[in-house]
């Protein structure tokens, strides 16, 4: 967890990779790393997600790669076997949380309400995903959460973009922001990985300015 936290403190942006095949996933991961982003979330949204996760973990060792959109304990267990170094879930379920904890793998479970956040707190989670951030209240909601749940860190995801990244990162309680704007499907489909690297570099620059 310490290595993950150190990297996110240094560069608080986590790109989401939804790979249609393992090879594309690896190329996307390398393009993001070239742009300065070395914490990657491979989301389980395609039939090739597990294979892509394993390939990225094996072939892009300079990155810390985790599994996202993990919905069940069984999926969580499988991602650990594939090499996931952290787990992200869109919601809060005991099975996923306990599986991650049992395997000593960092878990960022999703919350959108104070009730869910309090439950996460009672699962001994002090870092959570805030999802869907844009629809759930954005930076203003995070400000309210952080005033009550002191010591909790948040990773807002869902509706985050280059335009509002700085607004989220202005809150000291925000550990990092996750987003799919960094991996546009059209650019990846056409093999334009330079565009992915460019977006990554832009995000790094915004993050540095916000945290200066």
User: Over the stretch 44-54, which tens digit does the pLDDT of each residue have?
Assistant: 999 999 999 99
Percent of the chain with pLDDT over 90: 98
**CB-based contacts of 43, cutoff 8 Å, min separation 6:** 16, 17, 18, 49, 67, 68, 69
- Contact indicator for 205, 43 with CB cutoff of 8 Å: no
107-111 and 127-130 beta bridge pairing: parallel
Q: What is the pLDDT of residues 61-96, one digit of tens each?
A: 999 999 999 999 999 999 999 999 999 999 999 999
Q: Identify the pLDDT of residue 212.
A: 85
Q: Which two tokens mark 149? A: 């749940």
Q: Among all residues, which ones are annotated catalytic?
A: 41, 129
What pLDDT shows up at residue 90? 98
pLDDT band at 2 (very low <50, low <70, confident <90, very high): confident
C-alpha 206/C-alpha 212 separation (Å) is 10
pLDDT of residue 109: 98
Report yes or no: 55 and 78 within 8 Å, Cβ to Cβ.
Answer: no
- For residues 110 and 93, what is the distance between their CA atoms, to the nearest angstrom? 9
* 15 three-class SS: strand
3-class SS of residue 111: strand
Whether the per-residue pLDDT at 155 is higher than 90: the answer is yes
pLDDT of residue 208: 96
Architecture of domain 2-88+99-106+159-210: Alpha-Beta Barrel (3.20)
């Amino acid at each position: 967890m310490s290595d993950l936290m150190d990297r996110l403190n240094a560069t608080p942006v986590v790109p989401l990779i939804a790979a249609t095949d393992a090879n594309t996933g690896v190329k996307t991961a390398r393009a993001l790393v070239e742009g300065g982003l070395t914490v990657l979330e491979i989301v389980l949204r395609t039939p090739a997600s597990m294979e892509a996760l394993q390939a990225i973990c094996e072939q892009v060792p300079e990155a810390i790669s985790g599994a996202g959109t993990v919905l069940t304990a069984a999926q969580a267990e499988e991602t650990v076997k594939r090499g996931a170094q952290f787990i992200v879930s869109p919601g809060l379920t005991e099975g996923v949380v306990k599986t991650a904890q049992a395997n000593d793998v960092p878990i960022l479970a999703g919350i959108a309400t104070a009730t869910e956040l309090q439950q996460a707190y009672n699962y001994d989670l002090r870092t959570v995903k805030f999802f869907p951030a844009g629809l759930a209240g954005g930076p203003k909601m995070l400000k309210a959460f952080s005033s009550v749940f002191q010591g909790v860190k948040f990773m807002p995801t869902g509706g985050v973009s280059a335009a509002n990244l700085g607004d989220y990162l202005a809150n000291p309680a925000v550990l990092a922001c996750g987003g799919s704007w960094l991996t546009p499907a059209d650019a990846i489909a056409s093999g334009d990985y330079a565009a992915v690297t460019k977006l990554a570099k832009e995000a790094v620059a915004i993050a540095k300015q916000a945290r200066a």
